[in-house]
């Protein structure tokens, strides 16, 4: 839903009403089921180890206010799209990168993954 709304404004197509993956929709979240998770990390990773990420993501996403850098960039992109009909490629990469980072940290902090999320926007 965030890819469609003001987390990215990445598509005009409304998200499908399904928990299944839709190959026709441009965004998909896929988290592999972990076969085994560290029992010791459960006590600290969701709060202590994730604090540096929470600080950066708080700036990206705006915390509870919802007016973070991602939202501001998406608004600017909407204005550019309104006048030019094209989403600026570099702005799109930055907005999607910030969303990826926050989703990686979310998967880590909610104990879905043991791998510490990298401090980077792009996966390449």
* Residue 59: predicted pLDDT: 85
* Residue 68: predicted pLDDT: 86
Domain boundaries, the chain: 41-109
Nearest partner of 11 among 67, 95, 83, judged by Cα = 95
* Residue 22: predicted pLDDT: 86
* Residue 52: predicted pLDDT: 92
Per-residue pLDDT of the chain (124 residues; tens, 9 = 90+): 567 766 677 777 787 788 788 888 888 878 888 888 888 888 888 888 999 999 998 888 887 666 788 888 989 999 999 999 999 999 999 998 998 898 899 999 998 989 899 988 877 5
Tokens encoding 95: 């907005």
Tokens encoding 32: 């592999």
- The pTM score is 0.79
Please compute, for residue 47, the number of CA atoms within 13 A of its CA located in the half-sphere on the CB side. Answer: 2
Is 97 within 8 Å of 119 (Cβ atoms)?
no
Nearest partner of 73 among 53, 50, 99, judged by Cα = 99
* Residue 61: predicted pLDDT: 85
């Amino acid at each position: 839903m965030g890819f469609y709304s003001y987390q990215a404004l990445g598509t005009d197509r409304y998200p499908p009403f399904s928990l299944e993956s839709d190959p026709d929709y441009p965004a998909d979240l896929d988290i592999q089921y972990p076969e085994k998770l560290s029992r010791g990390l459960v006590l600290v990773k969701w709060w202590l180890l994730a604090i540096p990420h929470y600080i950066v993501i708080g700036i990206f996403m705006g915390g509870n206010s919802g007016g973070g850098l991602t939202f501001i960039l998406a608004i600017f992109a909407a204005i550019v799209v309104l006048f030019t009909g094209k989403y600026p490629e570099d702005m799109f990469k930055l907005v999607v990168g910030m969303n990826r980072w926050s989703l990686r940290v979310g998967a880590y902090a909610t104990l879905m993954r043991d791998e510490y999320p990298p401090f980077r926007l792009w996966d390449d």
